[in-house]
């Protein structure tokens, strides 16, 4: 059985909503997490294929949330 | 917005050097193709294009000539051997001088000479021309693949499986094409000389049957192509990693 294509996922990133709740911009988050705005934009728009644990940890630390709050499966 | 950002991330400014190299590769591809066509359409091929000036213009006049092969004479190197060989061929020359369709020409200088064939059979002619035209066609393909690769370099999209396949094709052409051509040329040269009127006194000049440099270069390119493919797969996996 061949693996599913990388783009064929249903994971939705709720970064937009979490940022709005906290009144933060993507640029602010990028500065504090240490990831480029481009990469965070990719994540926010569900175009990411994989996320490093270190990135997840940093985002959750800054937003004060859990990994489960960040993603849902549609 | 996202797509613009991603594109900007992947695009790099085109360097002048990459433009120059790509243009050079394309020019050499065109030149090799013209050279190959010159063999096919010239006097030794279909004989539909008079190439008496074009051959010199494109860097080689060999396409203008009748089929020929280098030969060596048995015996000690020196004037005596050459004189004996020329004397042995004197009756044939006299016969050719009065013939409407002379068979060929050879004149020995020392132990070496170039034997010219004026009346090859259809298959002999096709094989002789083919072993000259096909390598140039392969060379043209190699230059074209390099030009396409330089285009991808310019676009910042060079670590792809597509480029890896191109490198593998170039490696395969060098690894197989060069030795096969050399062997076919030698086999053909032996056949032509042995079936000519000079067979009693001359042999086809021995050639190194397998040009080992091409085997080495071809294998190196195939190894690089394998590594390149791995790199391309790795890059694809890393794209989209946040």
State which residue of chain A sits closest to B10, comparing Cα positions.
Answer: A38
CB contact, 8 Å: A15 with chain B?
Answer: no
Give chain B's radius of gyration (CA, Å): 25
pLDDT the model gives residue B110:
62
CB contact under 8 A, A52 and B5: no
pLDDT the model gives residue B207:
74
CB contact under 8 A, A50 and B2: no
* B6-49 tens-digit pLDDT: 444 454 556 788 899 999 999 999 999 988 888 888 777 777 77
Q: Which residues of A touch B9 (CB under 8 A)?
A: 38
Enumerate helices (H) and strands (E) in chain A, giving the number of each.
5, 2
Q: DSSP states of chain B as a string?
A: -HHHHHHHHH--PPPHHHHHHHHHHHHHHHHHHHHHHHHHHSTTTT--S--TTHHHHTT--GGGSPPEEEEEESS-SSHHHHHHHHHHTHHHHHHHHH-SS--EE---BTTEEEEEESS--HHHHHHHHHHHHHHHHHHHHHHHHHHHHHHHHHTT--SSHHHHHHHHHHHHIIIIIHHHHHHHHHHHHHHHHHTSTTTTTEEEPP--SS-HHHHHHHHHHHHHHHHHHHHHHHHHHHTTB-
pTM (2 d.p.): 0.70
Neighbouring-strand partners of residue B151: none
**Interaxial angle between packed helices A15-22 and A53-63, expressed in degrees from 0 to 180 and rounded to the nearest 10:** 30
SS3 A41: helix
| Domain boundaries defined on chain A | 11-67
* B140-160 tens-digit pLDDT: 999 999 999 999 999 888 899
Query: What's phi and psi for B220, nearest 5 deg?
Result: -60, -45
- 8 A C-beta contact, residue B112 and residue B72: yes
Mean pLDDT score, A7-12: 83
* B175-213 tens-digit pLDDT: 999 999 999 999 998 888 888 777 777 778 777 667 889
pLDDT the model gives residue B216:
96
What distance in Å separates residue A17's CA from the closest CA in chain B? 18
Mean pLDDT score, B218-231: 96
CB contact, 8 Å: A74 with chain B?
Answer: no
Neighbouring-strand partners of residue B112: B72, B109
Pick from A6, A41, A51: which is nearest to B2 by CB? A41
Strand pairing class (A71-73; A11-13): antiparallel
Q: Rounded to whole angstroms, how far apart are CA atoms B236 and A6?
A: 10
State which residue of chain B sits closest to A5, comparing Cα positions.
Answer: B237
CB contact under 8 A, B6 and A38: yes
Mean pLDDT score, A39-65: 92
Q: Which residues of B touch A35 (CB under 8 A)?
A: 242
- 8 A C-beta contact, residue B209 and residue B186: yes
Q: Rounded to whole angstroms, how far apart are CA atoms B73 and B69?
A: 13
Q: Rounded to whole angstroms, how far apart are CA atoms B190 and A66?
A: 80
| pLDDT greater than 90 at residue B5 | no
Provide CATH code, domain A11-67.
1.10.260.40
Q: Rounded to whole angstroms, how far apart are CA atoms B39 and B55?
A: 9
Query: Between residues B119 and A1, which one has the greater pLDDT?
Result: B119
Pick from B9, B237, B239: which is nearest to A38 by CB? B9
């Amino acid at each position: 059985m061949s693996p599913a294509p990388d783009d064929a996922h249903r994971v939705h990133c709720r970064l937009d909503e979490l940022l709005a709740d906290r009144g933060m911009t993507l640029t602010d988050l990028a500065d504090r997490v240490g990831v480029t705005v481009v990469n965070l934009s990719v994540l926010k728009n569900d175009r990411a294929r994989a996320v490093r644990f270190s990135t997840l940890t940093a985002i959750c630390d800054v937003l004060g949330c859990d990994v489960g709050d960040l993603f849902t499966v549609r | 917005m996202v797509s613009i950002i991603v594109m900007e991330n992947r695009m790099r400014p085109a360097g002048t050097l990459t433009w120059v190299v790509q243009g050079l590769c394309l020019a050499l591809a065109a030149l090799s193709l013209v050279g190959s066509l010159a063999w096919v359409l010239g006097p030794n091929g279909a004989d539909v294009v008079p190439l008496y000036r074009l051959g010199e213009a494109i860097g080689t006049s060999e396409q203008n000539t009748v089929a020929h092969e280098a030969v060596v004479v048995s015996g000690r190197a020196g004037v005596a051997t050459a004189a004996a060989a020329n004397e042995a061929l004197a009756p044939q020359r006299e016969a050719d001088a009065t013939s409407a369709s002379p068979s060929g020409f050879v004149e020995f200088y020392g132990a070496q000479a170039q034997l010219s064939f004026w009346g090859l059979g259809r298959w002999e002619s096709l094989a002789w021309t083919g072993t000259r035209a096909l390598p140039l066609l392969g060379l043209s393909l190699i230059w074209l693949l390099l030009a396409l690769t330089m285009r991808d370099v310019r676009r910042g999209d060079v670590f792809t499986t597509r480029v890896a396949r191109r490198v593998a094709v170039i490696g395969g052409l060098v690894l197989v094409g060069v030795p096969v051509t050399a062997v076919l040329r030698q086999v053909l040269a032996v056949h032509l000389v042995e079936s000519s009127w000079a067979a009693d006194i001359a042999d086809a000049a021995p050639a190194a049957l397998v040009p080992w440099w091409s085997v080495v270069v071809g294998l190196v390119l195939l190894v690089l192509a394998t590594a390149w493919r791995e790199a391309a797969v790795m890059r694809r996996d890393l794209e989209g990693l946040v």
